[in-house]
Amino acid sequence: MLETLRRIVQEVNSAEDLPSALTVMVQRIKESMGTEVCSIYLLEHKSNQYYLMATQGLKQSAVGQTRLGYAEGLVGHVGLREEPINLENAPSHPKFLHLPETGEDEFSAFLGVPIIHHRKNLGVLVVQQSSCRRFDQDEEAFLVTMSAQLAAVVAHAEATGAIDGTLFGQPTGSARFEGISGAAGIGIGRAYVVYPPANLKSVPDRTITDIKKELRLLNKAIKAVRQDMARLKIKASKQLPPEEQALFEVYERMLDDNALAGEIRAKVSEGQWAQGALRYVVQTHIRTFEAMDDPYLRARASDVKDLGLRVLSFLQEAKSCVSNIPPNAIVVGEDITPTVFVDMDRGNIAGIVSLQGSSNSHMSIVARSLGIPTVVGAAEFPLSRMEGRDLVVDGYRGEVVVSPSPEIRKHYKSVMEDERELSKELDGMAELAAETPDGHQMVLHVNTGLMADVTLSLERGAEGVGLYRTEIPFMVRDRFPSEMEQMEIYRQQLEAFHPKPVTMRTLDVGGDKALPYFPIIEENPFLGWRGIRVTLDHPEIFLQQVRAMLWASESLDNLKIMLPMVSSVTEVEDAMHLIHRAYLEVLEEGAHLEMPKIGVMIEVPAAVYQVKEFCQQVDFISVGSNDLTQYLLAVDRNNRRVANLYQGFHPAVLRALQDIVSQAKEVGTPVSICGEMAGDPRSAVLLMAMGYETLSMSASSLLRVKWVLRKISYERSKEMLGEIWKMDNAAVIQSHLDYVLEKEGLGGFIRPMHTGSHS
């Protein structure tokens, strides 16, 4: 059974388009279950009607013609009940609807299973038989499994098909794709697809005009792969038995003009670029092989794929893909990492769309600090068909609009205009203190990582750096920076803000922050070797970093050092020991400096319960609410499937935040918060009420937060906090805060700007 499922799923997933996927599905299900009919009805959400989209066993002429209302017939009944319906004699059921055009009257047994994706009803999968019998448990389980697989395929195709109107034959012009807001702002421009090297699936279609040039590139790549194969063949002749060696001959033949190479050339001659042509041809062959019954021939699919990847990697080497992006580019890709766009010309990036990621992934954090409108987690975004399309990135709502109509474009342009007006108003804020109307002083710091953050932070009147993420300069290199290199980078930060304090966090790699030259492969990276755990295991890296920080601060004395991911007192002791050692070393080497203040981050639930113990060891604490939220709620901060459960306003998170500040205050240790919550004006108000005096956020949030704090009195903020303690869920707390602040006339500042809806 499992093997049958696997084969069907593979075939369906590799189908070129949805109609072929559905046809394959009904054929295979009918065969494997030995039924007389298998049909798929999909729900068209605009008209709220089911369409018969594919069938084996009913009349083909009914496909695309037969429609049922949302609650009509047995199909509608299955959709409404959201559970399988298994009937011995369907025509006798009160919900049975006579549909003569399908010829289904002769069938008695009926089993219908809803197709549901993320709680949304997409359609119904039906099998029927003429004999009067109930389908058994196994058959039901099989169909439920198939339907769950089908759901993902349909959801993807629905989203994709919406662009061209291919699904229900109704062109819709522009299309809107949902994701999550990564960084606020509106970006209007053209899609520029980036893709990881040697990944065929994510190569986009791209039309070219200089066909000769493209053919030259292709020929060069094919020649290089052939040479590679010849070399491997010689090598293999010494190591492998003759049958295995034959594989290399097969490879060579596959690259012949009358095989793959010829087909790819033909596709290029039609105006497709070499990589796109390669993807098309190779994937078609893979599909053919995979559909074969003979296991030997099926295995050839992986040979073709291997060969395709080899040609692709040669083609990609010939192309300097990311640095020369055109102006007004919306950079889109499967999983855009900070390294990808940090390398690009910032002035040309109008926006970013990433299929992976969430608002708290590091790529969003970097995008926010660079002020690039970004949508992440746009899983249904049809990447391969996007190159060159007009896009609007709505970083407020976390949406992308493809081919916007003139009205939609006009609307977004006016939002951009409003935004400019607003930021003019905020500009005057930079010089003013973060003081409430009743005289309560707050300190607003910034989170930095790139030099680009520095200018913006200073322009916006930051009073210091609450979190300098040292791993960011580590991430954009191809090896660990030397002590001297680190010293220079740190010195720039310290000098730029001097005499204001700069809190440098020691290297926090692991989790979602990989260094290309120091890979950490783990099943559960967020629960693994991360932050302080890595650096304590590598004292040479830790000592070098601390020494670089200390040297950098000589004669400036505005350095503070902070330890990430601490979960026990011994970790703090061990780290303190190393820091003192580094301090003594640099003093001995002739440096003149004060011992900097040392702090720990509270970002692991265990640390919440040991705040007082930590306070005995260190000078300050700082809450990393991004990780604290993820660990308290057991919700991966990067997983878009559970992104809706990642809630900063969750009562449990708020209580933990209150506990931390109360404990620290009892023992008189300064406490700040440097997670993204500090940069949301709504949570900033609550944090102030809880007793936090220093909030550290990305520079782009600073003026907005200051504006709101200057309007809300400290007393009022405490009342608001009192109100929310009575509430038991995040959504209610969030809307209550929205409501209160909106009533105070702060609507435009507290929340993503209202961009309206055109769906």
Please give the Cα distance from 300 to 308 (Å, whole number).
Answer: 12
Task: Identify which range of 70-78, 158-166, 475-483, 595-603 contacts Mg ion by CB under 5 A.
Answer: 595-603
For residue 467, the partner it binds in ligand PEP, Mg ion, none, with Cβ less than 5 to 8 A by kind, is: ligand PEP
Q: Could you tell me the sign of the dihedral formed by the alpha carbons of 487, 490, 494, 495, in that order?
A: positive
Coil/strand/helix, residue 672: strand
Residue 244, judged by CB atoms within 10 A of its CB (0-12, 13-18, 19+), counts as exposed
Tokens of 126: 């039906």
Nearer to ligand PEP, 185 or 675 (CB): 675
Q: Which residue has the tokens 């099989």?
A: 142
Q: Which residue has the tokens 């703090």?
A: 572
Nearer to ligand PEP, 316 or 447 (CB): 447
For residue 675, the partner it binds in ligand PEP, Mg ion, none, with Cβ less than 5 to 8 A by kind, is: ligand PEP
Tokens of 485: 């290199």
CA dist 49 → 25, 29, 40, 45, 164 (Å): 21, 24, 13, 7, 20
Nearer to ligand PEP, 404 or 449 (CB): 449
Nearer to ligand PEP, 626 or 700 (CB): 626
Tokens of 328: 């007004």
φ, ψ dihedrals at 280, nearest 5°:
-60, -50
Tokens of 757: 């809806």
For residue 344, the partner it binds in Mg ion, ligand PEP, none, with Cβ less than 5 to 8 A by kind, is: none
Nearer to Mg ion, 300 or 513 (CB): 513
Least separation, in Å, of the C-beta of 417 and ligand PEP?
33
Task: Identify which range of 129-137, 199-207, 617-625, 642-650 contacts Mg ion by CB under 5 A.
Answer: 617-625
**How big is the CA angle at 152 (ends 282 and 33), to the nearest 5 degrees?**
90
- Could you say whether residue 624 binds Mg ion (CB under 5 A)? yes
Coil/strand/helix, residue 519: coil
For residue 625, the partner it binds in ligand PEP, Mg ion, none, with Cβ less than 5 to 8 A by kind, is: ligand PEP
Q: Which residue has the tokens 């304090």?
A: 501
Least separation, in Å, of the C-beta of 377 and ligand PEP?
17
> Which DSSP string corresponds to 309-378?
HHHHHHHHHT--TTTSPPTTEEEEESS--HHHHHTS-GGGEEEEEESS--TTSHHHHHHHHHT--EEE--
Nearer to Mg ion, 313 or 567 (CB): 567
For residue 469, the partner it binds in Mg ion, ligand PEP, none, with Cβ less than 5 to 8 A by kind, is: ligand PEP
Nearer to Mg ion, 263 or 603 (CB): 603
Q: Which of 218, 231, 234, 317 is nearest to 272 (CA)?
A: 218
How many residues lie near Mg ion (CB under 5 A)? 3
Nearer to Mg ion, 701 or 717 (CB): 701
Least separation, in Å, of the C-beta of 529 and ligand PEP?
15
Question: Is residue 156 flagged as an active site residue?
Answer: no
For residue 706, the partner it binds in ligand PEP, Mg ion, none, with Cβ less than 5 to 8 A by kind, is: none
Nearer to Mg ion, 64 or 525 (CB): 525
Least separation, in Å, of the C-beta of 709 and ligand PEP?
20
- Our separate counts of H helices and E strands in the chain read 27, 22
Least separation, in Å, of the C-beta of 642 and Mg ion?
18
For residue 674, the partner it binds in ligand PEP, Mg ion, none, with Cβ less than 5 to 8 A by kind, is: ligand PEP
**How big is the CA angle at 113 (ends 112 and 115), to the nearest 5 degrees?**
135
Least separation, in Å, of the C-beta of 525 and ligand PEP?
12
Question: Is residue 362 flagged as an active site residue?
Answer: yes
Active-site option among 38, 117, 650, 674: 674
Please give the Cα distance from 303 to 285 (Å, whole number).
Answer: 10
Cis status of the peptide bond prior to 196, with omega within 30 of 0:
no
Q: Which residue has the tokens 């660079």?
A: 370
**Closest residue to ligand PEP, based on beta-carbon distance:** 624
Reported for 659-665, long-range contacts at CB under 8 A and 24+ positions apart, including other chains, are 659/608, 659/611, 660/602, 660/608, 660/611, 660/621, 660/623, 661/690, 661/691, 661/692, 662/690, 662/691, 663/611, 663/612, 663/615, 664/611, 664/615, 664/621, 665/691
Active-site option among 362, 411, 445, 650: 362
Binds Mg ion by CB under 5 A, chosen from 627, 636, 676, 680: 627
For residue 640, the partner it binds in Mg ion, ligand PEP, none, with Cβ less than 5 to 8 A by kind, is: none
Tokens of 1: 């059974």
For residue 650, the partner it binds in Mg ion, ligand PEP, none, with Cβ less than 5 to 8 A by kind, is: none
Length reported for the chain: 759
Nearer to Mg ion, 214 or 471 (CB): 471
Cα 147 to chain centroid distance, Å, stands at: 26
Tokens of 358: 């969430």
For residue 610, the partner it binds in ligand PEP, Mg ion, none, with Cβ less than 5 to 8 A by kind, is: none
Least separation, in Å, of the C-beta of 627 and Mg ion?
4
Nearer to ligand PEP, 358 or 734 (CB): 358
Least separation, in Å, of the C-beta of 216 and ligand PEP?
46
Least separation, in Å, of the C-beta of 566 and ligand PEP?
12
Least separation, in Å, of the C-beta of 601 and ligand PEP?
7
Locate the DSSP E strands across 57-200.
Answer: 67-69, 85-87, 109-117, 120-129, 175-178, 180-183, 186-194
User: Which residues form the interface with ligand PEP (CB under 6 A)?
Assistant: 467, 469, 508, 603, 624-627, 674-675
Nearer to ligand PEP, 147 or 622 (CB): 622
296 CB-side CA count, 13 A: 1
Task: Identify which range of 360-368, 598-606, 613-621, 654-662 contacts Mg ion by CB under 5 A.
Answer: 598-606
For residue 221, the partner it binds in ligand PEP, Mg ion, none, with Cβ less than 5 to 8 A by kind, is: none
Least separation, in Å, of the C-beta of 466 and ligand PEP?
9
Residue 138 identity (one-letter amino acid): D
End-to-end CA distance of the chain: 42
Q: Strand 399-402 to strand 175-178: parallel, antiparallel, or no bridges (unpaired)?
A: antiparallel
Least separation, in Å, of the C-beta of 537 and ligand PEP?
19
Q: Which of 280, 281, 290 is nearest to 254 (CA)?
A: 281
For residue 11, the partner it binds in ligand PEP, Mg ion, none, with Cβ less than 5 to 8 A by kind, is: none
Nearer to ligand PEP, 603 or 680 (CB): 603
For residue 724, the partner it binds in Mg ion, ligand PEP, none, with Cβ less than 5 to 8 A by kind, is: none
Task: Identify which range of 591-599, 621-629, 645-653, 661-669 contacts Mg ion by CB under 5 A.
Answer: 621-629
The b/e string for 474-493 (b: 16+ C-beta within 10 A; e otherwise) is bbbeeebbeeeebbebbbeb
Please give the Cα distance from 530 to 687 (Å, whole number).
Answer: 27
Please give the Cα distance from 721 to 738 (Å, whole number).
Answer: 13
Least separation, in Å, of the C-beta of 365 and ligand PEP?
6
Task: Identify which range of 116-124, 224-232, 345-353, 626-634 contacts Mg ion by CB under 5 A.
Answer: 626-634
Task: Identify which range of 215-223, 465-473, 542-550, 623-631 contacts Mg ion by CB under 5 A.
Answer: 623-631
Active site residues: 362, 674
Interacting residues with Mg ion (CB under 5 A): 603, 624, 627
